[in-house]
Amino acid sequence: MMQEELGVIHCLSSKEKQLIKFIRELGWGDLKIRIENSQPVLIYEAIKTIRLEEEPAQQRKKLQATRFKNK
């Protein structure tokens, strides 16, 4: 990374920092934001999305352990 690029990270505005924090807390989902003068000003929509799996993770681990024992 170039020195100039590193300096940009330290120059984030308060609004940009709030947006990044919000995105990190959302984790997974969709987001619609309004930008004015190159700055985020509003988050219109934040929809948290949860991906469903065929088998819950704990149940899948149990099945894998059972299959391994039976071999």
What's the pLDDT band for 33 if we cut at 50, 70, 90? very high
CA distance linking residue 66 with residue 52, whole number of Å: 23
CB burial class (10 A; 0-12, 13-18, 19+) of residue 31? middle
- Which residue's entry shows tokens 């930008």? 35
Domain-by-domain residue ranges, the chain? 3-70
What mean pLDDT is predicted for residues 31-49? 90
Residue appearing with tokens 């949860």: 50
Tokens of 36: 């004015």
Q: Rounded mean pLDDT of 16-35?
A: 91
Which range among 4-8, 10-14, 49-53 shows the weakest confidence by mean pLDDT? 4-8
pLDDT band for 45, please (50, 70, 90 cuts): confident
Helix, strand and coil percent figures for the chain, each rounded to 5: 50, 25, 25
Question: In this predicted model, what pLDDT tens digit does every residue of 58-67 receive, in sequence order?
Answer: 666 666 666 6
